Chain A
């Protein structure tokens, strides 16, 4: 019985691996094998020198960092407070945080576009007009950060909630308080270090979301990495695939770096 189960597992794993690996291998093959020239890495070298590669990648990374910072600053105090003093509000917050999942990005961005158009018309004589301009600065579009924060909420909330479930927040806070820690100190010194795994998870998900997000950025007319890939792909088929492969590798590298930075202290995060 156990052996048959084992066999099944391997079969499923094998199928899943084929499902993911064959397209990836095909992509890689397509980019390096130029008919008549043999194996060449020209497509990849072209990317790095292509116009806008570095700037769009940097923009995406900046957006990701800003989004992670904002969304964590927003949700961490909220979920901790929820656990400590208002457990009855939890379903409400859960539903609010899950709403972005049911609103399609295309509808979401349509709403944002409307507001961005409406705002300047009505506020042209007020200082808020400047705000609307600043928010859409193409060098660092704050409006994208705002949109991404909303889109990341469901994932971040879930990751943090799962992390908090494993920690007795109330006792940790009270223990810290009886040791002379003020509220903020108790939060930073006693609770956050034990949410390390959850914070990392939330950051992972947000990073992946921001790096891959296309719809909102494209329709608002900005050019982060995902949009740039699309634009490049229009002109050269081989290079666009090469860029996709590269973006996959970049994302992996970033996630690994994040895991490496966060997982250094394994003894602390694993509880017996």
Chain B
């Protein structure tokens, strides 16, 4: 296909990036490598430095120390307009005085491409994002989703080596967000372009990225494929940030952890013998109606395929469990129940102080 981009996708490396804004440390020694053609999501709570990292790659921020490398070449001092990185912004960033075609062709105009040629390429790119018939529209005549599509086409117009997406979906409503993120993924795979995607929405990150890098307080917490990140989180922070996690108190004794009356093996290092919290996903928690059980159902929420049941354990901690609808039928709020875990290794973390 003629719109295809780089013959060879680029590698991006962040090397011990550090950046302070006054008293706050936005990046505290970030090391991260993005593989060629990879779709990498930068995920983290607000203020974790993910946007700062992206803006450093775009050339809008400069590190206090450290380096940004594209294909092994240090671009830390290269000005933004020579970075060869297409960017889609969080806020609507189309030029209000230009129609869709001219917006997409803006970069080509800056490169002094002839009028006919650049309009043809712009039209081609608009077709690619499914807006071939909206070329004459001005930004204020387009919906939010359409504006972001045009912005995407604009970012791809110069055949950049890297595509940067700074929470491009966060201003859109749920339905548009879903369809556009699938579209972004499709385009990215079609073009094979190295892509960085900043988001604070873990579902979004897990569903479209090849790998997800979870950041916290300016540092990389874990970078792994979605399934691994979800199934085997490296730290308690990742475990609780990605997906839903319940903490159930347990005790570590001889390489096993005692929890809910069961003795289970655990992954990784224990934070020390004695009192710990066992981290469990709701789909791994089993709840059975049991008149003599010590746990009490606090609430149930119907989520479609499953029912999320919140139970209060004997010691007062609350745990969440996802059950098939037919199993949850007899678990009304207030009924007694027994909670158990499957015989699989679990994740343990230091006891949370409350």
Enumerate chain A interface residues (CB-CB to B < 8 A).
Answer: 167-168, 171-172, 174-182, 185-186, 189-190, 193-194, 196, 265, 267-272
8 contacts between A and B (CB under 8 A): A175-B87, A175-B89, A179-B110, A181-B106, A181-B107, A181-B110, A182-B79, A268-B138
Q: Are B95 and A190 in contact, with the CB atoms below 8 A?
A: yes
Q: Output the nearest chain A residue to B164 by Cβ-Cβ distance.
A: A178
Interface presence of B206 (CB below 8 A) = no
Interface presence of B96 (CB below 8 A) = yes
Interface stretch of the complex, out of B12-20, B124-132, B153-161, B242-250:
B153-161
Which of B91, B96, B110, B139 touches A180 (beta carbons < 8 Å)? B110
Q: Output the nearest chain A residue to B138 by Cβ-Cβ distance.
A: A267
Q: Are B60 and A174 in contact, with the CB atoms below 8 A?
A: yes
Chain B residues with Cβ under 8 A from A172's Cβ? 93, 95
Nearest 8 Cβ contacts at the A-B interface: A272-B140, A179-B107, A268-B97, A193-B97, A178-B87, A177-B80, A175-B93, A180-B110
Residue in A175, A185, A268 with the greatest tally of chain B CB atoms within 10 Å: A175
Q: Are A196 and B97 in contact, with the CB atoms below 8 A?
A: yes
Chain B residues with Cβ under 8 A from A189's Cβ? 106, 109-110
Interface presence of B168 (CB below 8 A) = no
Enumerate chain B interface residues (CB-CB to A < 8 A).
Answer: 58-60, 79-83, 85-87, 89, 91, 93-98, 106-107, 109-111, 138-141, 151, 154-155, 157-158, 164
- When chains A and B are docked, how far (Å) is the Cα of A155 from the Cα of B106? 33
A179-B157 in contact given A174-B80, A268-B138, A271-B140 (Cβ < 8 Å): yes
Q: Are B107 and A268 in contact, with the CB atoms below 8 A?
A: no
Chain A residues with Cβ under 8 A from B139's Cβ? 271
Number of A-B contacts (CB under 8 A): 84
Chain A residues with Cβ under 8 A from B60's Cβ? 174, 177
- When chains A and B are docked, how far (Å) is the Cα of A270 from the Cα of B141? 11
5 more contacts with CB within 8 A, not counting A175-B95, A178-B85, A180-B107, are A171-B89, A177-B81, A185-B81, A193-B95, A193-B97
Q: Are B106 and A176 in contact, with the CB atoms below 8 A?
A: yes
Q: How far is the CB of B70 from chain A (nearest CB, A)?
A: 14
- When chains A and B are docked, how far (Å) is the Cα of A177 from the Cα of B107? 9
Q: Output the nearest chain B residue to A192 by Cβ-Cβ distance.
A: B97
Judged by DSSP, the binding face of A is helix
Chain A residues with Cβ under 8 A from B80's Cβ? 174, 177-178
A181-B81 in contact given A268-B96, A271-B96 (Cβ < 8 Å): yes
Chain B residues with Cβ under 8 A from A196's Cβ? 97
Chain B residues with Cβ under 8 A from A179's Cβ? 81, 106-107, 110, 154, 157-158
Q: How far is the CB of B188 from chain A (nearest CB, A)?
A: 17
- When chains A and B are docked, how far (Å) is the Cα of A269 from the Cα of B139? 11
- When chains A and B are docked, how far (Å) is the Cα of A189 from the Cα of B107? 11
Chain A residues with Cβ under 8 A from B97's Cβ? 193-194, 196, 265, 268-269
A177-B96 in contact given A171-B89, A182-B81, A268-B138 (Cβ < 8 Å): no
Q: Are A171 and B93 in contact, with the CB atoms below 8 A?
A: yes
Chain B residues with Cβ under 8 A from A272's Cβ? 140-141
Chain B residues with Cβ under 8 A from A168's Cβ? 91, 93
Q: Are B158 and A180 in contact, with the CB atoms below 8 A?
A: yes
Chain A residues with Cβ under 8 A from B106's Cβ? 176, 179, 181, 189-190
Q: Are B87 and A194 in contact, with the CB atoms below 8 A?
A: no
Residue in A177, A178, A186, A268 with the greatest tally of chain B CB atoms within 10 Å: A178
Chain A residues with Cβ under 8 A from B81's Cβ? 177-182, 185-186
Chain B residues with Cβ under 8 A from A182's Cβ? 79, 81
Chain B residues with Cβ under 8 A from A270's Cβ? 140
- When chains A and B are docked, how far (Å) is the Cα of A268 from the Cα of B102? 12
- When chains A and B are docked, how far (Å) is the Cα of A265 from the Cα of B140? 14
- When chains A and B are docked, how far (Å) is the Cα of A272 from the Cα of B144? 12
- When chains A and B are docked, how far (Å) is the Cα of A272 from the Cα of B140? 5
Chain B residues with Cβ under 8 A from A180's Cβ? 81-82, 107, 110-111, 158
Residue in B59, B95, B111 with the greatest tally of chain A CB atoms within 10 Å: B95
- When chains A and B are docked, how far (Å) is the Cα of A196 from the Cα of B96? 12
Chain A residues with Cβ under 8 A from B82's Cβ? 180
- When chains A and B are docked, how far (Å) is the Cα of A171 from the Cα of B97? 14
A171-B158 in contact given A181-B81, A272-B140 (Cβ < 8 Å): no
Residue in A177, A182, A269 with the greatest tally of chain B CB atoms within 10 Å: A177
Chain A residues with Cβ under 8 A from B94's Cβ? 175
- When chains A and B are docked, how far (Å) is the Cα of A168 from the Cα of B58? 18
Chain A residues with Cβ under 8 A from B59's Cβ? 177
A178-B96 in contact given A189-B106, A268-B138, A270-B140 (Cβ < 8 Å): no
- When chains A and B are docked, how far (Å) is the Cα of A272 from the Cα of B139? 9
- When chains A and B are docked, how far (Å) is the Cα of A47 from the Cα of B155? 61
Residue in B82, B83, B93, B164 with the greatest tally of chain A CB atoms within 10 Å: B93
- When chains A and B are docked, how far (Å) is the Cα of A193 from the Cα of B70? 34
- When chains A and B are docked, how far (Å) is the Cα of A194 from the Cα of B93? 12
